[in-house]
């Protein structure tokens, strides 16, 4: 998958300010198809709808700590669903603990971004994850 402005991105975070910040960072970098969701259940609904309309979400940026269904639980659901198991998944968390990061990596995230989100770091992580995805898919 080539990094392109039309990459369909879904930002999932229960904090409205964080959702807005990440969406604005992405749009300033030229991404034109950024959607947001307040929780993992809404995200799954958006992903299912997008898939049914032959326009699947290509990249997910998800907060780890969310009520009802965490980012890691969302990732687990995506990995067992043939429609979403190849979707690029970047975890976003304020937890810097190396055990926490390793747990995310072992669960299958494509990358991990620490809050507060740095625009350059976020863009670099997205670029790397997309390049890696194109080599393996």
Has residue 34 got a pLDDT over 90? yes
The lowest-confidence range among 29-43, 95-109, 110-124 is 95-109
The lowest-confidence range among 29-33, 47-51, 73-77, 98-102 is 98-102
Distance between CA atoms of 81 and 58, rounded to whole angstroms?
14
Has residue 136 got a pLDDT over 50? no
> What pTM value is reported for the model?
0.93
Give the mean model confidence (pLDDT) for residues 90-103.
91
The predicted pLDDT at position 96 comes to 87
Has residue 97 got a pLDDT over 90? no
Q: Which domains does the chain have, with CATH numbers?
A: 8-131 (3.40.50.2300)
Distance between CA atoms of 12 and 36, rounded to whole angstroms?
6
What are the backbone angles phi and psi of residue 123, rounded to the nearest 5°?
-60, -45
Element (H, E) at 23: helix 16-28
């Amino acid at each position: 998958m080539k990094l392109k402005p039309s990459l369909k991105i879904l930002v999932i975070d229960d904090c409205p300010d964080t959702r807005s910040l990440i969406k604005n960072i992405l749009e300033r970098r030229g991404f034109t198809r950024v959607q947001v969701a307040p929780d993992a259940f809404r995200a799954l609904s958006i992903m299912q709808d997008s898939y049914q309309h032959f326009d699947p979400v290509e990249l997910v940026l998800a907060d780890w700590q969310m009520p009802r269904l965490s980012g890691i639980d969302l990732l687990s659901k995506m990995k067992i669903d043939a429609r979403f198991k190849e979707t690029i998944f970047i975890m976003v968390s304020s937890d810097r603990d190396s055990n926490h990061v390793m747990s995310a990596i072992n669960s299958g995230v494509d990358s991990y971004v620490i809050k507060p989100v740095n625009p350059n770091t976020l863009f670099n992580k997205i670029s790397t994850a997309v390049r890696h995805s194109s080599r393996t898919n």
